[in-house]
Amino acid sequence: MIEAVCWDVGGVFSGRPLDAVGGLATEHGLDPDEVFSAIFGPYHLDGDHTWHRLERGQITLKEAWADVEAAIGAFGVELTLRDFFSQFGNDPADRSVVSDTVRDLHGRGIAQAIITNNVKEFSESENGGWRSIVPMDVMSVVTDSSAVGMRKPDPAIYLHTLAELDVAAERAVFLDDMDANVQAARDLGMHGIVVGGDPAPAMTELVALVDQLS
């Protein structure tokens, strides 16, 4: 039986950062994977890259900005971090299906939680930050990497969330757009679903899994 569903934010409730960075990188003749890694670090790891430290709340966005801009400048193009951030709203997918699924499952008595790698400043922005796109009123637990000092795919962040939920790993599902983050959850015994550019198939898979194990 599934007792809890844990959700990533960026790439699930909003467009995927990988797609946003990839589109602009391709336009400038750059390798999308190399540019993504330069900005966000090797995302299959939890290491000492500037962005990783930022997401763990160890440095501020202001402190990280210069390092990331330097990494972008090394490609020899006139692009800034702000240029890449401006692409994040260019998402053709209908994401309402995600919030609808959250509310439907909440109505069935299944706990909902957030596990997000995020930046403190993105949560505290004037428009409500990432919380403004998530149905926060039904989230039992919110695990923000910048608040708890750990980030995916570190197993500790999943175990922390499961403990807060008081749910066993095998009774929880985790959804994320990054394969490595989903695999880390699976390695702990959680059910894992990768969300693609169109989130609808993942929502169908999730509901089918919940129905199967009910």
Domain parsing of the chain, residue ranges: 4-15+93-212, 17-89
Residue 35 scores a pLDDT above 70: yes
Third-level CATH fold of 17-89: DNA polymerase; domain 1 (1.10.150)
Q: Which stretches does DSSP call E strand in the chain? A: 4-7, 111-116, 139-144, 172-176, 191-194
Contacts of 98 (CB under 8 A, 6+ apart): 7, 12, 13, 199, 203
- Fold annotation for 4-15+93-212: Rossmann fold (3.40.50)
Q: Mean pLDDT, to the nearest integer, of 105-110?
A: 98
**Among 21-25, 51-55, 200-204, whose mean pLDDT is lowest?**
21-25
| Band (126; pLDDT cuts 50, 70, 90) | low
